[in-house]
Structures are given as C-alpha cells and as structure tokens.
Amino acid sequence: MKMLKTATVAAALMGSAALANPYADYEGTTLIVNFPAHPHYDAVMQILPQFTEETGIEVEVDQLPYLAMRERQTLELAQDEGDYDLIAYVVFSKADYVYADQLENLAKYFMNPALADPSYDAGDLIDGYVYNIGFAGGDRGYLSGKTGSLFGLPYGSETSVLGYRKDIFEKHGLEVPETYEEMLALACQIPELEPGMGGLASRAASGHHAAHAFLLHLNPLGGGIFDDSWQPIMNSAEGVAAAEALKQIVDCGPEGASTFGFGEALGAFLNGDTAMYLDTTVVAGQINDPSRSQVVDKVGWALHPMGTERASQTGGFGIGIPANAENKEAAFLLMQWLTSKAGDKAVALAGGNPSRFSTHSDADVNAAFPHMATFGEALQYADPDWRPIIPTWGKVNADLGTTLSQVLTEGLDIQEALDGVAERARATMEEAGYYTWQ
Amino acid sequence: MNRHFANRMTPYLFMAPAAFIMAIALIYPLGYMMYGSLLDWNPSQSISEAEYVGLKNYVTLFYDPFFRKSFSVTLTFAFFVVVFEMAIGVGLALLLDRNIRGMSVLRTLFILPMMIAPVVVGLMWRYMYHPTVGIFNRTLDNLGLEKVDWLGQHALMSVIIADIWQWTPFIFILSLAALQSLPQSAIEAARIDGATGWQQIWFIKLPMMMPILIVTALLRLIDAFKVLEVILVMTEGGPGQSTEILAMRISRTASEFRELGVAAAMSNYLLLMLMILTLSMFAFTRLQERRSARLAAAIQEDE
C-alpha cells in the first residue's frame, strides 16, 4: 500500500506521459465489441464515450438481441480470425466457449504490469458473480477451486430479490416475508385480501422460463440439480418441495400465470396485478419508470426469502476476450476500465447492474437508486452453483422446463414428472461421459 | 465426327451454368445437411472436428419421446389447419364469386391477413388471447361468461385458430381464381338442365376445381409443417410440449441443446415426409392428366 502511494506521488511529480498514460500505446485503436440488447448494456453505451475520451481508444459496438448474439458468437469464435475484440457472453455460454478454447485466459493480462492497474481491487468484485460467470476449471469444472482460473469478468450480472407492494402490505398489516413458509402463505393470502390480485408474479411458461422459476426455489429449499458425482437429484424431496412451491405460486398467481414468460410476469407486477415479484434485479430500473409502470414508488425490496438456507440466483452476462481477437491488449484495457471502481459506479449511475460490493454501498449510487443497498446485501448470498454450467445443461434445462410446464398446466404428478427428468438427465450425462470414472 | 460431337455437346454446354448453380445452391447445402446428420456436431466445432456417428442420430430420434410428441403435434396441427382452411377458403370463394358492388374492395380485405408479417400476427394474437387484458376474455367477461385460458388449457386450438385466420385467404384467392376460370358452358348447361345452386356447386364446380384444390391443399400442408414464427411468438411451444411443432423442436435442438447433428437428422425426417407429400402431389396430377387424356381419347373415339 505504501509502495503504491509512493508510486502515485512519483508519477504525479514527474508528470511523465509514459507513466501517467498506460493507454498511450493503444491510442487510435478501434475495438469492435459485441454486446446484447439489455438494460445494463444500454447503460454501458452511455459511458463508452468517456472511455474513448480518457484513453483515445475507439469502441465500435455491435449490439444484438441476446439469443441472436449467442448464435453470432458461436459462428464468430470458430473462425481463425474473429471480428470481435471483446464479447459479452451469457453465463451458460461460459461452458461452451471455455471448453472449445475460444476465450482468453486472463492470467497473462493481470500478470502484465503494463496492462494491469494496481488499484483495480479484484477483491471488491462480487464473489458469487466472479465464480459463476468468469471462473472455469475449478470444482466440478465450472466453479472456483484450486485448479480453476479466470476467463471473464462479470458485467451485467444479476441476482434475485423479492419486490413487494408497500401500499398493499401496509393496508393489510402484512409482514414482508423472511422465509419460504411466510412467502408461500402470503402468496395465497393476498388473492383473498385483494380480490382480483395475484399473490406473486412468476415465470412459468414451457422451457427455460419454468426451469428458471423452479431453480429460484430449488437451492434455497436445500435441493440441487446434480450431486457431487453428477447423479441427478432434482427429484429429491427438496426438488419436489421446490416444484410444489412453484405450483402454489402459479395457482395463487394472476390469471393465466401458467403461461407467463419473463415479460408477462414482470408486466403483471408493473400493472399492479400482483403484490409480489421474485426474480432478477435487472427489472429494478423499470419499476419507477412511469411510462412502463403503474406501481411507481409503491415497491419495496427485500432479500430472496430463506428456505433451509439463503441462496439467491446468479446469472446474467460477463465479458471476455475471444481467443481469435485482433486487439487483445486494448480489449483487456477496456474490460478493466469498465469493471474498475470508477467504471462500475459510472455504469450503475447510468442505470446498469454493478459488479462490485463497493458500488452497492456507494452513497451517490444509493441516493439515485435507494434499493441498491438491499441488492448489495442480497449479493452476499448469491450462489455461484445456482445451476450447473456445463455443456449438457441446455438439454437438461429444456427437459426440466417442458416437464414442469406439464406439471403446472396438465396436472402431471410432481414426483413422477421429476423422476422422468432425472432419468433422462442421467442418460444425457452418461452419453456426455460424466460417469466415465465411476 | 468432331462437328457431330460438338453439336451433341452444345445443349449440355448451354445447360452447364444452370446445372452448376443448381449444384452449388441446392445439392451442396442439402448434401452438407445429410452429412451433418451423421455427426455428433456441436456448433462450437467446425464440421471437420465433429465425430462421425453413422445413423445414431436417426435411431436416437426414433425412440425419443420428445421428438415423437413433436411429430404428432405437427401432424395434428397440419391436419386441422388444412381441413378448416380448405373448408372456409373454398366456401368464401363460392360465396364471393359473383358481381356485387365493391367486390374488389372486399376481396382485398379478405386477403389482408396473408400479407402481415408472421411475427406481428403472433404478437397480435398473443395479446388478443391475453388472460386479463385480451379482447376475447374481456368480451366474454362483459357478456357475463366464464373466461377461457386460451394459451394455457387450449393452446393448440388457439394456435390453430390464428393460423386459420392468417392462411385461409391463400386458399380463398386460389379457389376464387379456379372458380373464375371454369368453363361457363358447363355451368350454364347445368342451369338449363334445372340444377339447383347446391347441385351446381356439388356436381359441377367442385369436381371441376378439384385438381387445383388438391394442389392448393398440398401446398398449404407442406407450409403448415414448417410454421415457426407465429407459434414461437405465441407460445414458445408450450405449455409443456403441446404446441411444439417440429420446426420449433429443430430450432431448439440446434440453438438450445447445441446438437447440430441431431437437428440435421430431424430436418431430414421432416424433409422425407414433405418429399412423400410432394411426390404424391405430382403423382396425383399425373394421374389426373392421364385420366383426362383417356377421357378425351374416348370422346374422340365416340365421335
């Protein structure tokens, strides 16, 4: 620390361009980056001019809808020479890209004294996000651990929180739920207290919507998708409890809840059709936007309720450097600038999702977005193992989502349905070689 | 000899550019897909890195309950869609095949749905089916009737209704064209012989329109097997797998499950089925031609 201070003072005294401007060598470089069309990255667009001004590095952004982005990246990354210098990737792409050797290992950049900013403070980055989105090669292949290393940095990541209608809770003297039991009881009590209103808005549509909603409840209730030897355990008693919770929420939810996707669930809450909303933090910006929301200033935020433990979602996006990028070092500088303390604060103030603990407790950020402190607290419980990030997950996830949708709409027996998913998941894992050593 | 050879080769020479373009534009992608279907192929790999697995993808699919369910959803969807569209489209054509004032405006109005982009159609119907704010449920509510869970309990039916709305005009304009090209003499003769309106339709118009109607129905059937956008926007294949038609399953297999080989094999199954349909369409037209040639010959002999 003392050395750092001395260096800073020396640099200030000398006023030398070489020392003061690590970006000098890259001035005039144009970086081509690929970002998704997403509220966080809309905020990023606002701070990029500041980066160019400070560094002289130009940034050209190719912003695509996120599914299209993934397809485009799959094609781009397989080329010998890619178009992109920096990409934002959705969390489950980590498994595919790292496995196919398409993302740069960041060690060599953080080791390079000409590139790595000593005041970066990586310890301030949110642990759950870093291990979930940026790390690979550790425990279970996709988590932190002694054998792992860093391939990306979380940027535009999200966790889950509970939004609730302060006015409705006050009117009926209700307590904000702390535990799953309380939340589930409230979910069905609210439609009785407020006729026409649903308890909790949840996604439930067939496919990844239903699977996502199930996962939200699975870990807090003590369940998981696989055990340590990759045997499926989503059909355990905890898994059944999570599916039952989902069913209860949907049954006591607004009309038509069983077919709600992300947009409809959020729409129902913004419309005032439900009293609670349990999902990603990314929606916070829209709640108080009068052009979209009818519940402006009526929403309070609380931690994702606790089951047998606290375990909120980890997901969203990270940024990484493609192995076939042309300007890797300049891309690293952009990546470092964006996720630095100053960059993270700037993007938070522009309406993005911060990746650092310090930004969540920052006074300016909290003055602009009072919910940020609660979100910061929620992040301490963000579970990096919220879902398995392995190449076969896409298939297991789709099966889970389709089957759960049948549970919600066709009245399929929960245990039987999850047993089916487990059996098929085992076959998928077997084929992919996960039982080779057993 | 040389000149003879050159003469014989000339047509081939003229055909060569077209054949070359055909080979590149049609045969190559098709062959690529056939080959791809024999591989265990992840989109992050180039095709040369993918492992060759023979017919495994086809066999796996054959026993895959999700694929079979999707196949049966596709068949159900295509069957109902085509039957209703044919009945309504032909019915409308028969009704509107007359000279009333403003006819051209009416006809244009009828074919409007066909011109709207599928994604817009999907979105429009999705909002109309919305459980609380959708026009259907609000109307039912206003009439004091019970609301219907359109995209939940009756998703397939709702999707079929939307498709009927969009594609009936296609049948309608083709049937109308067929009706208007019918020889008036036969219809006049029937009228003079005292045939009623129904009898004219049933015994004269419909049989004479039949070849065109069959082709129209087959075209529609082939198209119905490939519908994607409207269903994608309306239900994303749900709830459960109840509206997941094959085109959607293929798209999910390629992008969500990242199994390009399996997706290619699935496309080949679809292609196979469409080939059978198309061939039967050709066979039918050939049969019709032969029959009319035979009839014409018989008439000539009589004379």
Quote the ipTM score.
0.75
A85 close to A327: Cβ distance less than 8 angstroms: yes
Length of chain B: 303
Instruction: Tell me the C-alpha distance between A399 and A206, whole Å.
Output: 9
Angle, CA B33 vertex, CA B35 and CA B257 arms, to 5°: 100
Kindly indicate the confidence band of residue B300, based on its pLDDT and cuts at 50, 70 and 90.
confident
Query: For the segment B238-270, what is each residue's pLDDT rounded down to a tens digit?
Result: 788 889 999 999 988 988 888 899 999 999 999
Residue A14: predicted pLDDT: 43
The answer to the question of residue B57 being in a domain is: no
Cβ neighbours of A254 in B, within 8 Å: 131-132
pLDDT of residue B207: 86
Measure the CA–CA gap between B220 and B79, rounded to whole angstroms: 10
Is residue B18 in a domain?
Answer: no
Nearest to B255 by CA among A418, A88, A423, A96: A96
What confidence tens digit (pLDDT) does each residue in B80-117 have?
999 999 999 999 999 888 777 887 888 888 888 888 99
Residue B157 has a pLDDT of 94
Contact B44 A96 (CB under 8 A): yes
Tokens 């990255």, located at residue? A41
If you count them, how many residues does chain A have? Answer: 438
Answer whether B48 touches A (CB < 8 Å). no
Cα–Cα distance for residue pair A316/A90, rounded to 1 Å: 6
CB A316 within 8 A of CB A154: yes
Please provide the DSSP assignment of A408-426 as one string. Answer: HHH---HHHHHHHHHHHHH
Window 393-422 of A: residues touching B by CB (8 A cutoff) are: 394-395, 397-399, 402-403, 405-406, 408-410
CB < 8 Å to B235, chain A: 205-206, 259
- Cβ distance of B44 and A100 shorter than 8 Å: yes
Residue A25: burial class (beta carbons within 10 Å; 0-12, 13-18, 19+)? middle
CA distance B244 to B70: 6
Q: Which two tokens stand for residue A316?
A: 């969203």
Q: For the beta carbon of residue A145, count every other beta carbon within 10 angstroms.
A: 13
- Dihedral angle at the C-alpha atoms of A318, A323, A326, A327, nearest 10 degrees? 50
pLDDT at A134: 93
In the prediction, which pLDDT does A30 show? 95
Domains and CATH numbers, chain A: 18-158+315-379 (3.40.190.10), 160-312+392-429 (3.40.190.10)
Residues of B in contact with A258 (CB under 8 A): 149, 152, 239
Q: Residue A196 gets which letter from DSSP? A: T
Distance linking the first and last C-alpha atoms of chain A = 49
The first and second tokens of residue B94, run together, are 């028969």
What is the C-alpha to C-alpha distance for residues A319 and A352, in angstroms, rounded to an integer? Answer: 14
What is the span of the domain harbouring residue B273? 70-302
Q: Which residue in chain B has the smallest CA separation from A401?
A: B240
How far is Cα A78 from Cα A322, in angstroms, rounded to an integer?
10
Mean pLDDT of B23-46: 87
B240 vs A: CB within 8 A: yes
Q: Is residue B8 part of a domain?
A: no
Decide the pairing of beta strands A30-36 and A86-90.
parallel
Nearest to A226 by CA among A109, A321, A142, A339: A142
Cis link prior to B239 (omega < 30° from 0)? yes
Q: Which of residues 195-254 of A touch B (CB under 8 A)?
A: 205-210, 254
Neighbours of A200 (CB within 10 A): 30
Dihedral sign from CA coordinates of A80, A84, A85, A87:
negative
CA distance A385 to A205: 24
Interatomic CA distance for residues B226 and B45, integer angstroms: 27
- Cβ of B44 within 8 Å of Cβ of A408? The answer is no
Strand runs labelled E in chain B: 39-40, 51-52
Domain assignment of residue B183, yes or no: yes
**Two tokens at B290?**
């032969």
Q: Is B213 a residue whose pLDDT tops 60?
A: yes
B20 three-state secondary structure: helix
User: What confidence category does residue B303 fall into, taking pLDDT thresholds of 50, 70 and 90?
Assistant: low
- A245 and A414 in contact (C-beta within 8 Å)? no
Torsion over CA of A420, A422, A428 and A434, rounded to 10 degrees? -160
pLDDT at B1 over 70: no
- Determine the Cα–Cα distance for residues A241 and B62; give it in Å rounded to an integer: 34
- Cα–Cα distance measured from residue A384 to residue A143, given in angstroms and rounded to the nearest whole number: 7
A102/B132 CB distance under 8 A: no
Residue B46 contacts A where some CB pair is shorter than 8 Å? yes
A294-332 b/e with 16+ CB inside 10 Å = b? ebeebbbbbbbbbbeebbbbbbbbbbbbbbbbbbbbbbb
B199 pLDDT higher than 60: yes
C-alpha pair distances (Å), A71 with each of A67, A93, A156, B32, B261: 7, 11, 19, 19, 16
* Count of the separate structural domains present in chain B: 1
Residue B280 lies in a domain: yes
The mean pLDDT values, 10 residues at a time, for chain A of 438 residues are 46 46 92 92 94 95 87 88 93 89 95 95 93 92 92 93 94 94 95 93 90 95 94 96 96 89 89 93 83 90 94 92 95 96 94 92 92 89 90 91 91 94 95 91
DSSP A325: -
- Domain harbouring B83, CATH code: 1.10.3720.10
> Is the pLDDT confidence value at B288 over 90?
no
* CA–centroid distance for A26 within its chain: 31
Interface of A with B in 254-293 (CB under 8 A): 254-256, 258-259, 261, 273
Q: Distance of CA A423 to CAs A361, A404, B6, Å?
A: 45, 15, 67
Domain-embedded: residue B27: no
List A302's β-bridge partners, or say none.
Answer: A162
Beta bridge partners of A289: none
Residue of A258, A261, A402 with shortest CB distance to B241: A402
Task: Give the whole-angstrom CA distance, residue B271 versus residue B293.
Answer: 32
Secondary structure (3-state) at A358: helix
SS3 A435: coil
CA distance B219 to A370: 59
For residues A256 and B235, give the distance between their C-alpha atoms in angstroms, rounded to a whole number: 12
Please state the separation of Cα A70 from the chain's center in Å: 16
DSSP state of A179: B
